[in-house]
Amino acid sequence: MGAIVTIGVVGAGQMGHGIAHVMALAGYNVMLNDIDPDRVMAAVTSIENNMGRQVAKGIITQTAMTTALARISRAENFSMFADCDLVIESATENQALKKKIFAELSGILKKEALMATNTSSISITGLAASSDRPDRFIGLHFMNPVPMMQLVEIIRGIATSKETFEAAKAIVERLNKTMAVSEDFPAFIVNRVLMPMLNEAIYTLYEGVGTVEAIDTGMKLGANHPMGPLELADFIGLDTCLAIMQVLYEGLADSKYRPCPLLVKYVEAGWLGRKTGRGFYDYSGAAPVPTR
């Protein structure tokens, strides 16, 4: 397997820009793509701001920041990925959309290039089957915010080769992150455990057991969680939370994973959490204010 020098990233949302950030700092060339060109512009600005904070805190040097930023370029379309050694897909959590992306990339990427997905829940085997290279396809599940979170889950599809797995492990090592290997089951390890807890917190709100503030304070001070579950759901994105619950519910065919109707309603309203300025909290002021 050839050396990985250039990495394409599809989807420049909150995860895509974090992935670009850590990859560029680790010395990879990064090409960033999004269906919405404004998102790529916003992503580059966020990366600059976030690296600037890392410089101010003494985590990285100014030189490392300047060099890393110079390694990031924009890819207006997938044809610009022709020379990439790896493409990581981090677009919206939707199986049909991701399958379409991998089918399209198949005709463009060089034969030896690897494909990875940052999906939080969707079958790696199923996504790999939409590509022309299921053996060179893997799940690389980063955590949010990528520059700060230590874990990367690695998930092999049924056809993923040993060489692809080794290449993925080497990338995680080069990022100085820690991996947890998960089998390819709905939502893998982290979200299989985390997401039903967040969904339950939303049920607790829906049933009137407590207010937003009481639920979050309860779990922060009572269970020693750094963020309350509703605050965390807003941070992840309520559309992503709902998509993951749907994958768990359908994939494991068990009613215990039923998405809370209040979560569905918030997503229908377009209240997706921090990224849209409103979720279980309103983020328009200086400090978040509970919305219920």
Q: How many H-runs (helices) and E-runs (strands) does the chain carry?
A: 11, 10
Distance in Å, CB of 207 to ligand NAD, minimum: 25
Binding region for ligand NAD (CB under 6 A) out of 32-40, 59-67, 159-167, 194-202: 32-40
Query: Under a CB-based contact definition with an 8 Å cutoff, are residues 121 and 140 in contact?
Result: no
Closer Cβ to ligand NAD, 50 or 67, answer by number:
50
CA 188/CA 182 separation, integer angstroms:
6
Please identify which residue in 36, 83, 112, 173 interacts with ligand NAD, judged by CB under 6 A. 36
Q: Does the protein bind ligand NAD through residue 119 (CB under 6 A)?
A: yes
* Long-range contact set of residues 221-226: C-beta below 8 Å, sequence gap at least 24: none
Percent helix, strand and coil across the chain, each rounded to 5? 50, 15, 35
Comparing C-alpha atoms, which of 158, 148, 249, 157 is closest to residue 195? 249
**Tokens 């990064």, residue?**
30
Figure out which of the listed residues 137, 240, 246, 247 binds ligand NAD, where binding follows CB under 6 A.
240
For residues 154 and 182, the answer to whether their CB atoms sit within 8 Å is yes
Q: How far is the CB of 116 from ligand NAD (least distance, A)?
A: 12
Buried b (16+ CB within 10 A) or exposed e, 38-59: ebbeebbebbeebbeebeeeee
Find all residues with CB under 8 Å of 199, minimum gap 6, and list them.
Answer: 241, 245, 257, 259, 260, 263
Q: At 106, is the secondary structure helix, strand, or coil?
A: helix
Q: Is 241 in the site for ligand NAD (CB under 6 A)?
A: no
* Piece of the chain touching ligand NAD by CB under 6 A; list 106-114, 116-124, 216-224, 280-288: 116-124
Pattern of binders to ligand NAD over 67-86, x per CB under 6 A?
--------------------
Cβ-closest residue to ligand NAD? 13
Half-sphere exposure for 155 (CA within 13 Å, toward CB): 29
Binding-site string for ligand NAD from residue 146 to residue 185, where x marks contact by CB under 6 A and - marks none: ----------------------------------------
Give the range of 34-42, 80-88, 204-212, 282-290 binding ligand NAD by CB under 6 A. Answer: 34-42
Among 6, 14, 123, 131, binds ligand NAD (CB under 6 A): 14
Tell the residue number behind the tokens 């690296």, with chain if given: 51
For ligand NAD, the closer of residues 153 and 216 by Cβ is 153
Residue 64 and residue 52: Cα distance in Å, rounded? 11
As annotated, the active-site residues are 120, 141, 153, 191
**Which of the stretches 46-54, 93-101, 155-163, 210-218 binds ligand NAD when contact is defined by CB under 6 A?**
93-101
Q: Where along the sequence are the contacts to ligand NAD (CB under 6 A)?
A: 10-16, 33-36, 39, 90-93, 97, 101, 118-120, 141-144, 236-237, 240, 275
